[in-house]
Amino acid sequence: MREDAMEKQLSTTEVYAGRAISIRVDEVRKPDGRTTTRDVVVHSDCVVVVPVDEDNNVLLVRQYRYPVSTLLLELPAGGIEEGEEPVDCVRRELQEEIGFMPGRIETLGGFYSIPGYGTEYLYAYAVHDLKPSRLVAEDTDEIEVIKVPLQDIPELIESGKICDAKSIAALHIYLSRQKLLS
């Protein structure tokens, strides 16, 4: 995109700072010279992981998500801590959420989760050669690990049983690479 076609930040005001997010209001100048505001949810970058075991099952997690008041079937994922590399976050999150360490880590790419109003970028990975390894962390007792045959994943997405964007996006990338999407 040409630089003269982009909005320019004139000022920023943090209006909320919480444990997981902060919210700011930016005043911007549009390319036509008008000014307006943009609400921005600031969130750390994250990883999302497609763990595949030796039997070609994907290890999903079922957990309650308060903002949507329901149990969701998702891929393991989590925030990258200050100074942590994404690949190290993959290892930590797998230990915390599913109790495994990866033997092999494959980069799938990445994507923004909510670019219309948020900063979060997700690094997507697939992992193989899983070895049992438990790292005790907060709230992991509320996570149920579900093994699903890889060939059943498209139906779970199409039926809405997997309905969060990060899981759908990472699974589609992985399935496409495995030539399992029609």
* Residue 134 confidence class, pLDDT cut points 50, 70, 90: confident
Nearest-angstrom CA–CA distance, 84 and 153:
30
39 plus 65 within the same structural domain? no
161 plus 107 within the same structural domain? yes
CATH number at residue 149: 3.90.79.10
148 plus 106 within the same structural domain? yes
17 plus 99 within the same structural domain? no
Residue 53 lies in a domain: yes
What range does the domain containing 146 cover?
Answer: 46-177
88 plus 12 within the same structural domain? no
73 plus 25 within the same structural domain? no
The total number of structural domains in the chain stands at 2
Q: State the number of CA atoms in the 13 A half-sphere of 79 facing the CB.
A: 10
Q: Which of 102-106, 120-124, 135-139, 166-170 has the lowest mean pLDDT?
A: 135-139
pLDDT for residue 1 is more than 60: no
155 plus 80 within the same structural domain? yes
Contacts of 182 (CB under 8 A, 6+ apart): none
pLDDT tens digits for range 62-80? 999 999 999 999 999 999 9
Residue 86 lies in a domain: yes
What is each CA distance from 67 to 71, 72, 125, 166, in whole angstroms? 11, 11, 26, 16
